[in-house]
Amino acid sequence: MHPSRDPHFAARHIEIDRPRRGGAHRRRTLLGSRHHPSPVSLRVPGRRSHAVNSATAFWRRRRTSSCGKLNPRFTAHSSSRRFLSPTPEHTVTTDRPNLLGLTPEELSDALGVHFRERGEPAFRSRQVARWLYEGDVRSVGDMTDLPLAERKALSGAFRVEEPEIDTVSISRDGTAKHLWELSGGEVVESVLIPAGRRLTLCISSQAGCALACRFCATGWSGFGRQLSPAEIVAQYRASARWARENGLGAVSNVVFMGMGEPLANRKAVFPALTILNRGYSLGARRITVSTVGVLPGIKALAERREQFRLALSLHAPTSELRRELIPLEQRYPLDQLMTALEEFNRGGGRRVTFEYTMIRGVNDDLSLLPPLANLALRVRAFVNLIPFNPIPYVDWKPSLRGRVRAFQSGLEAAGVAAAVREPRGRDIEAACGQLRAARRPDRAGPGRRLRGVSGPRPRSGPSAPL
């Protein structure tokens, strides 16, 4: 039974000793609630992840810059004037590629070479693929239909490794947020959102974000590093496993709306899309990629033949107002984005969604309805109206319910499909715009604790093309 549905889920603090490397121990705590479904945080013991996905020279050469050259050298700073220095995409490497980060084609090629060199039949590669995509194994040693000698040899050449689930927080409404501990000390969050027969997983693509949108807690936290394909896919695997084990059923939809800008990490996100679609058989129309408007990324996504959904974080129907909310508008203005969305629509069968966070007194004036409707009609976009979710860095409030409904009615009267996205997981800071991977004080590493930011906006300085 899902913990939030159990009326007898008792309040408790259970300390679990878990060995560290070198014999030291650390304690984990399980937290619950007794008589009312208040937020729950679960510290989950598991394996530590000490390496980020890397590749052998064999298949690394296969990944070209076809999805756009990426240079993650962004900087951002808070009121403490502490700059985040440029970081490489994958700061920790290993000689053993993580099988979770290989596309099905790369997996087949890499395993084919491995087993041919050992004189093994070609079907061994298919066995491994079945274990990964259907068997949900957590190590090469779990692939029990492989001979023991082959498992040992495979373990020496490859690995199956997921980031550790550090904490699970459960909302009153059943939403579950996972805090993931990555190699190098970074942390990210993902969110499971049950709604009727649907179970949507919101996953992260970066540790932090450099784009500094004013309404987003992730943007205020600055940029840490890019996630690897394996770290993105592992969020899906482990979250889906957790959902099954806790009675939520199968994940039906995946949205790249967690921490980070997905199209600023195309080198990892695009392979992850392929793996989820072709490896785990998740339909392309059930996968949505969100962006605040990375123009080269929109164009690159349009060139793919799969019908992945695209969500534009619009939040303002005019370029002038949008610049106040989204600094990237200065680089990729709205008129250029709309042209790119028209090209995206020409792919046929693709759906564009506008995300519109409604902030009281900022972007909810009724005079903004006509330009918003015109933009949506131009690309046949569905509009999600999202009441602003509070974050610690600004004093904004969500638009009044009556104003939100007036926007919805006005859009529908103009022929635009629109809906109000009710907040989910707001009490555990899991709602849209609230993810910031805040650690518990006793888990914060040096320099990793999120600092409060004063002033009207976060500041960032992207120093390279997105």
Average pLDDT on 291-305 reads 97
Range ranked top by mean pLDDT from 211-220, 363-372, 393-402: 363-372
Average pLDDT on 139-163 reads 95
Q: How confident is the model at residue 3 (pLDDT cuts 50, 70, 90)?
A: low
Average pLDDT on 125-134 reads 96
CA 183/CA 88 separation, integer angstroms:
13
For 146-157, give the DSSP string: S-HHHHHHHHHH
Q: How confident is the model at residue 346 (pLDDT cuts 50, 70, 90)?
A: confident
pTM for the structure as a whole: 0.78
Active site annotation includes 189: yes
pLDDT at 202 over 60: yes
Task: Say which CATH topology domain 164-460 has.
Answer: TIM Barrel (3.20.20)
Contact 68, 35 (CB under 8 A): no
Is 11 exposed, middle or buried, given 0-12, 13-18 or 19+ CB atoms closer than 10 A?
exposed
Annotated catalytic residue within 67, 202, 213, 432: 432
Q: Please tell me the predicted confidence (pLDDT) of residue 457.
A: 45
Among the listed ranges 10-14, 126-130, 167-171, 370-374, which one has the minimum average pLDDT value? 10-14
Active site annotation includes 432: yes
The residues spanned by each domain of the chain are 3-43, 164-460
Question: Mean pLDDT score of the chain, rounded to an integer?
Answer: 80
Which tokens belong to 33?
């609630």
Q: How confident is the model at residue 430 (pLDDT cuts 50, 70, 90)?
A: confident
pLDDT at 272 over 90: yes
Residue range 80-122, pLDDT digits in tens: 222 233 334 443 445 799 999 999 999 999 999 999 999 999 9
Q: Please tell me the predicted confidence (pLDDT) of residue 162.
A: 94
Is 402 exposed, middle or buried, given 0-12, 13-18 or 19+ CB atoms closer than 10 A?
exposed
- DSSP secondary structure letter of residue 388: P
Q: Please tell me the predicted confidence (pLDDT) of residue 142.
A: 94
Helix (H) or strand (E) holding 266: helix 266-274
Q: Please tell me the predicted confidence (pLDDT) of residue 85.
A: 31
Q: Please tell me the predicted confidence (pLDDT) of residue 433.
A: 82
Annotated catalytic residue within 106, 120, 164, 189: 189
CA 128/CA 138 separation, integer angstroms:
12
CA 33/CA 222 separation, integer angstroms:
33
Q: What backbone torsions phi and psi does residue 384 show, to the nearest 5 degrees?
A: -95, 115
Provide the β-strand partners of residue 225: 207
pLDDT at 5 over 70: no
